[in-house]
Amino acid sequence: MIRRVRVRAYANIALIKYWGKLDEQKNLPATASISLALDSLVTETLVTKTKEKRDRIELDGKSADRTTAQRIRDYLELWRERKLLDGHVRISSANKFPTAAGLASSASGFAALATALSELSKTNIARSTLSRLARFGSGSAARSIVGGIAALPTGSDPAAKMIIEADQVDFGMVVAIAGDSAKKVSSREAMKLCKTSSPYFKAWIDQSKRDYKAMLAALKSSDFNTIGEIAEANALAMHGCILATRPSIVYWNETTLALIELARMIRSDGIAAYATIDAGPNVCFICKLTELGRVLKRVSNTPGVETAFIAKPAGGSEVIEWE
Ligand code: PMV
């Protein structure tokens, strides 16, 4: 019987964003999404079975804060309710990138945890079932199970599916950190507020359907400029919807705005680079693998950028060792 397992999962950045829920209990996305898993956004998690009467959760070397610990305990409970886990566990998870600053750390975090739990469970869990289980922790985690370019459709119990394998993807991202403090409003809270108060929520859902279709077609024909254009427009539409909530949520800072402008400037200089932004101030520049170095230089020289790094396509979650 496996007692202890170490796993690795990569976070992903969406080209078509998941934003809004159909059902909170089942964590059903209101929009279908498409993402790229990235090798420098990696989480390593060690899960050990314990005889203790409670779960212990350590993140980046410290006890998890109350809210995070509760969220993870609830998630473990779901595995116990489904008879996929018995007893309690000790979790020690480390992110190799700034946590909760809009860099999808919940994607790699829950993908890693689900992968470890499936290894500890005595049942053989199929990858698609694992993606569904990861979705209960965080919508974007469903896509990190699969890796590469992955799509998570809408539906009554969706799982992510592979669209393009990591080694077949010819573009990556330059990640610009425009502020690494934990975000003020969690995406869970913001999605709720958006649905109940943003006058643009319905328009966002409708636009997102068109973007998803168009992105699938652009990926199929490897039309990089169209992929970039749709991704940038989709991210800005999501933020338009977020900005219009009441009270308003502004995830951006002045560096974010400078970086959106930079993407335009880089393009006018003849390099195809497109900006995408999750629920935080950081900006990811999507560009061909051959252009990553040149884009990194431009991004690093932008005032306000704390740090910038290259992120290349990565695969799905994986078990590193067990005993
Ligand atoms: O997976 P969650 O619940 O943290 O939501 C992710 C939301 C975005 O990162 C903004 C978009 C996405 O599709 O990853």
User: Are 274 and 230 found together in one domain?
Assistant: yes
Q: Ligand 1 centroid vs 323 CA: distance in angstroms?
A: 33
Share of the chain above pLDDT 90, in %: 90
Domain harbouring 17, CATH code:
3.30.230.10
Query: Does a structural domain hold residue 118?
Result: yes
The answer to whether residues 136 and 178 belong to one domain is no
Query: Is 120 touching ligand 1 by the criterion CB < 6 Å?
Result: no
pLDDT higher than threshold 60 for residue 99:
no
Say yes or no: 147 and 200 in one domain.
no
Note whether residue 84 is domain-resident. Answer: yes
The predicted model gives 247-276 an average pLDDT of 97
Output the pLDDT for position 243: 98
Whether 105 and 83 share a structural domain: yes
Ligand 1 center–CA 17 separation, angstroms: 7
Mean pLDDT of 26-32: 97
Tens of pLDDT, residue by residue over 283-312, are: 999 999 999 999 999 999 999 998 999 999
Query: Is residue 248's pLDDT more than 80?
Result: yes
Is the CB of 106 within 6 Å of ligand 1?
yes
Q: Which domain holds residue 93?
A: 4-166
Q: How far, in Å, from the CA of 277 to the mean position of ligand 1?
A: 10
Is residue 70 in some structural domain? yes
What pLDDT was estimated at residue 136?
Answer: 97
Q: How many domains does the chain have?
A: 2
pLDDT at residue 77 above 70? yes
Per-residue pLDDT, 208: 98
Task: Say yes or no: 162 and 183 in one domain.
Answer: no
Structure confidence at residue 183 (pLDDT): 64
Residues 130 and 178 in one domain: no
72 and 152 housed in the same domain: yes
Residues 199 and 238 in one domain: yes
Is residue 1 over pLDDT 60? yes
Any domain includes 28: yes
Q: Is the CB of 279 under 6 A from ligand 1?
A: yes
Does the residue 318 lie in any domain? no
- pTM of this prediction exceeds 0.75: yes
142-186 pLDDT per residue, tens: 999 999 999 999 999 999 999 999 999 999 999 999 976 666 798
Ligand 1 centroid – CA 102 distance (Å) = 8
pLDDT score of 101 more than 60:
no
Residues 78, 26, single domain; the answer is yes
pLDDT at 102 (0 to 100): 53
Specify the CATH number for the domain of residue 291. 3.30.70.890
Residues 114 and 14 placed together within one structural domain of the fold: yes
Q: How far is the CA of 2 from the centre of ligand 1 (A)?
A: 32
The answer to the question of residue 320 being in a domain is: no
Instruction: Tell me the pLDDT band of 122, cut-offs 50, 70 and 90.
Output: confident
If one residue of 193, 278, 283 were mutated to test the ligand 1 pocket, choosing by the most ligand atoms within 8 A of its CB, it would be 278
Q: Which of 114, 132, 166 is the last residue of a domain?
A: 166
Single out the residue of 8, 17, 36 nearest to residue 278, CA to CA.
Answer: 17
Last residue of a domain, one of 166, 186, 204: 166
Q: Is residue 319 part of a domain?
A: no
Three-class HEC string of the chain: CCCEEEEEEEEEEEEECCCCEEECCCCEECCCEEEEEEEEEEEEEEEEEECCCCCEEEECCEECCHHHHHHHHHHHHHHHHCCCCCCEEEEEEEECCCCCCCCCHHHHHHHHHHHHHHHHCCCCCCHHHHHHHHHHHCCCHHHHHHCCEEEECCCCCCCCEEEECHHHCCEEEEEEECCCCCCCCCHHHHHHHHHHHCCCHHHHHHHHHHHHHHHHHHHHCCCHHHHHHHHHHHHHHHHHHHHCCCCCCCCCCHHHHHHHHHHHHHHHCCCCEEEECCCCCCEEEEEEHHHHHHHHHHHHCCCCCCEEEEECECCCCEEEEEC
Asked if pLDDT for residue 200 goes beyond 50, the answer is yes
What is d(CA 160, CA 20) in angstroms, rounded to the nearest whole number? 17
Taking the CA of residue 238 as reference, the ligand 1 atom at the shortest distance is 10
Task: Give domain status of residue 296, yes or no.
Answer: yes
Give the per-residue pLDDT at 97.
Answer: 73
**C-beta 33 within 6 A of ligand 1:** yes
Cβ of 17 closer than 6 Å to ligand 1, yes or no, is yes
Cβ(14) to ligand 1 under 6 A?
A: yes
Give the pLDDT score at 100: 45
Among the candidates 166, 187, 211, a domain finishes at 166
Mean pLDDT of the residues in the chain = 95
Ligand 1 centre from 274 Cα, in Å?
A: 19
The CB of 187 under 6 Å from ligand 1? The reply is yes
Query: Do 193 and 130 belong together in one domain?
Result: no
181 and 267 in one domain? yes
Which amino acid residue places its CA nearest to atom 6 of ligand 1?
140
Residue 31 near ligand 1, beta carbon < 6 Å: no
